[in-house]
Amino acid sequence: DSGVTQTPKHLITATGQRVTLRCSPRSGDLSVYWYQQSLDQGLQFLIQYYNGEERAKGNILERFSAQQFPDLHSELNLSSLELGDSALYFCASSRLLQETQYFGPGTRLLVL
Amino acid sequence: QQQVKQSPQSLIVQKGGISIINCAYENTAFDYFPWYQQFPGKGPALLIAIRPDVSEKKEGRFTISFNKSAKQFSLHIMDSQPGDSATYFCAARHYNQGGKLIFGQGTELSVKP
């Protein structure tokens, strides 16, 4: 158990809908990262927050957004969902920048 | 420039054998190279990591070999066990892009008893 928690574990929704994925980092970790894992794209970095501020952005679609709250938990919002958004979404955390990242168990999203 | 290429895509090894997975990169600004192990239905877990100023790092049965001039690094699993059957990802981190990891495509390892 990495100490990173993600909810929900599974999510089934329809195209055009909006969902929110939640991540609680390990105790004391200030940085949160979001990754998407799909069969064709592999593990892709989406976005990083550090102590509430956006720090780095990857190939994140405009339909996706994230934030990190004062208690350091983070949420990834996915809107206008498409079939191709079906994937595993992982959150990782690290104590500071440029430190070892610990991954959560992921949220499996299925868009029908 | 931001890619990490991993091979092979899949690997079958007999119990007790050596598993070798290779990765290559182009960007010389990468300064940290971790390997992650992922079991079905689980998140990736850090296995071992190396920095480019070191040519080899060993932790138990797992060894990373790093060739800075060739921009290649590899994971060796000695005395492979059925419990090692998982997907392995190499990754690289840029020295000043906040810590995001660039992952290889993954290698599905199957260790046969």
Q: What is the pLDDT of residue B1?
A: 61
Q: What is the pLDDT of residue B28?
A: 86
The reply to whether residue A98 touches residue B99, judged by beta carbons under 8 angstroms, is yes
pLDDT more than 90, % of chain B: 87
Instruction: Give the span between the Cα atoms of B80 and B62, in whole angstroms.
Output: 10
Give the mutation candidate from B101, B102, B105 for the A interface (greatest A CB count, under 10 A).
B101
Task: Report whether pLDDT(B98) > 80.
Answer: no
Q: Which is more confidently placed, B55 or A40?
A: B55
Q: Which of A108, A110, A111 is nearest to A10 (CA)?
A: A108
Å between A13 CA and nearest CA of chain B: 20
B51 touches A at CB < 8 Å: no
Q: What is the pLDDT of residue B99?
A: 84
pLDDT beneath 70, residues of chain A: none
Q: Which of A70, A65, A78 is nearest to A107 (CA)?
A: A78
Q: What is the pLDDT of residue A96?
A: 83
Residue B4's pLDDT band (boundaries 50, 70, 90)? very high
What residues of chain A, 60 to 89, have a C-beta less than 8 Å from chain B? Answer: none
